Structure 1
Amino acid sequence: MTKAALIVNANSRSGARACSHAEDLLRALDVPLHAVHPLRDPSRLLEVVEGAVDAGHDLIVLGGGDGTVSSVVDVLAHREVPMGLLPLGTANDFARTMHIPADLDGACRTIARGHVVDVDLGLCGRNYYVNRASAGLGAAVAEHMSPRLKRRIGPLAYPVATARALRKHRPFTATLEFPDGDHEPLTFTDLLQISVANGRYFGGGQLAAQDAGIDDAMLDVSVLRNGSPLRLLSMARELRTGSTTDSSLVTHLRTGKVEVRTDAELPINIDGELVANTPQLFSVASNALHVIAPPTWTDGG
């Protein structure tokens, strides 16, 4: 790699103070930086990354959280330009999946000394994502998760936004169909949420499944039914450990492709952003993204 661009979402939780420090660290580690872009306007991320790739940069160093990564993978998918990641967000689940250190020094050393690996991306219609897409409660949580809340209380923003979303939740009905024929069509009523995970982690460290990987060409689907507050709390504890044991409230499925239809059109949360609505087809783009990972990351994590 001979020409790198550092692009930082300066609006992310720690992005503003991290950009100049990261630049100094990367230059000291002999990463060939040719352009540095501290962006205060996140809406310009896609444009700036695309411009850097078109200008011939053969490494994009991206600073931000999961939403930042998800917003630019449309440009980097199926391109020969790898991404180095500085995890500067609230949850940093993609960095956790890739074993990228949470501290800036460690992340910069990974970029300078790591190796390039290929990982899958999820597809919600034509929208790529790295961690998870969800309809129902997850989308409502995204609506309550303001940048101000994340900056103010960090990871605690997730349970706070979830509690707010639960108060307003209305159960829904959904039908899941599997174009590859690996499962029979299924209809569920009185639902809390449907999530379709591509990565290993989401929601601030929650495991999609104990054996979930981001290079296995499969999606981990979780269907959550409504229940009493006490039962929902118990379910949340089990899900956080990556349990895939089905119960009266949870059904787990693994598939390469699933179509989700709901009785009423619902917004879909893709890595923290509401960018689509049901019905949608979810699938996998295998080995679509090149990422610099540390030596500890092998075979999906």
Structure 2
Amino acid sequence: MRQFTAVVNPAAGGSSGTAALLPLARALREAGAQLDTKYSRSLEHAREVARQAGGQGHVVLAVGGDGIAGCVGGALSGTDAVFGLVPAGRGNDFARALGLPSRPEALAELLLGGSPRPVDTIEVTSAVHDATSVLGSVYAGVDAVANRHANTSRLLRGAASYYAGGLRAVLAWRPAAYRLTIDGAEYERRGYTVVAANSGFYGFGRNIAPGARVDDGLLDVVVIRHAPKRLFFTMMNELKTGAHLERPEVEILRGKEVRIEADRPVPYGADGEVDASLPVTARVQPGALNVIW
């Protein structure tokens, strides 16, 4: 019988990750599994707890949204530890990409009996931060600004915070001149954003990279080039269906490593966390994380 350690973000979704964990914990314990619960005080604390539990042979569960998922999963990247995800945040985009069940009973059944499978992670490096690993995507541009607004919103939650943050970001955005280096090849583009995607989803269910796969050893690099702002809003609405790929302003490139630079300090984010500006390098780490999915 597996032993689990749940690393909980107590502020997930603007409420408590505990609410999502309780019915799952009941199902796991009724099946005879042991479950320890640890509440994170910070992302660094969450990484420390995850590494310790993984080193003890526990299945490490990230309870919260994409930030805690990327933090805990990234901390376990490159180790033999087994990772599980309990979606309890606003976006839950990596859980969406994995197709995880939403019902606690079904998720418990998967965690108890499912076999770990390797997924890729992304190593993120910049001049001002030590190298770290994340799961979903690295994005640089108007979406990073929008996510920053959503994360700091006190009045709105869930999808509303993303829509409001996006509106605020786009209205104030001016096109950036990007320089991309993908597996040694250079590209110059001007526009709204560049997304290096391991998972297809970001920003509360937007399918920015429908062709991205978490286990193919590649990053899908999505470039949204300059367009009138009214057209950009139309494209944002098309992200749910993938129709944005038909737009000439949208370009998909692929590679194992991408360096993103710009003509000004454009902010970038990774798995819901934004705290730095370009340049940044994202490199895929094939099969680096063992995940129950």
Same fold (TM over 0.5): yes
Amino acid in structure 2 at the alignment position of 1:258: V
Query: Residues 91 and 288 of structure 1: is their aligned pair in 2 closer, same or farther, counting only changes over 3 Å?
Result: same
Aligned residues of 1:246 and 1:252 also touching (Cα < 8 A): no
Q: Which moved more, 1:3-12 or 1:237-246?
A: 237-246
Corresponding residue of 1:23: 25
Corresponding residue of 2:124: 124
Query: Residues 138 and 148 of structure 1: is their aligned pair in 2 closer, same or farther, counting only changes over 3 Å?
Result: closer
Q: Secondary structure at the match of 2:12?
A: coil
For 1:10-63, what per-residue CA distance to the aligned partner results, in whole angstroms no more than 9, with x for missing partners? 211241323333322210122232x22234655531222223234x13311221
Query: Residues 289 and 282 of structure 1: is their aligned pair in 2 closer, same or farther, counting only changes over 3 Å?
Result: same
For 1:232-286, what per-residue CA distance to the aligned partner results, in whole angstroms no more than 9, with x for missing partners? 1232234332357464422221122222111122221101111443222221000
Q: Which moved more, 1:212-221 or 1:109-118?
A: 109-118
Deviation of the 1:228 alpha carbon: 2.2
The 1-side partners of 2:22 and 2:247 are apart by: 49
Query: Residues 272 and 218 of structure 1: is their aligned pair in 2 closer, same or farther, counting only changes over 3 Å?
Result: same
Aligned residues of 1:209 and 1:244 also touching (Cα < 8 A): no
Q: Does 1:234 align with 2:239?
A: no
Aligned residues of 2:140 and 2:269 also touching (Cα < 8 A): yes
Q: Does 1:143 align with 2:144?
A: no
The 2-side partners of 1:208 and 1:167 are apart by: 20
In the TM superposition, structure 1's runs of 4+ consecutive aligned residues that sit over 6 Å from their partners are none
The 2-side partners of 1:164 and 1:244 are apart by: 21
Query: Residues 127 and 92 of structure 1: is their aligned pair in 2 closer, same or farther, counting only changes over 3 Å?
Result: same
Where in structure 1 are there 5+ consecutive unaligned residues?
A: 294-301
Q: Secondary structure at the match of 1:240?
A: coil
What is the aligned-residue RMSD (CA, Å)? 2.3
Deviation of the 1:163 alpha carbon: 0.7
Aligned residues of 1:11 and 1:42 also touching (Cα < 8 A): no
Q: Which moved more, 1:272-281 or 1:91-100?
A: 272-281
Amino acid in structure 2 at the alignment position of 1:233: F
Where in structure 2 are there 5+ consecutive unaligned residues?
A: 126-130
Identity %: 27
Q: Secondary structure at the match of 1:25?
A: helix
Corresponding residue of 2:128: none
Aligned residues of 1:25 and 1:105 also touching (Cα < 8 A): yes
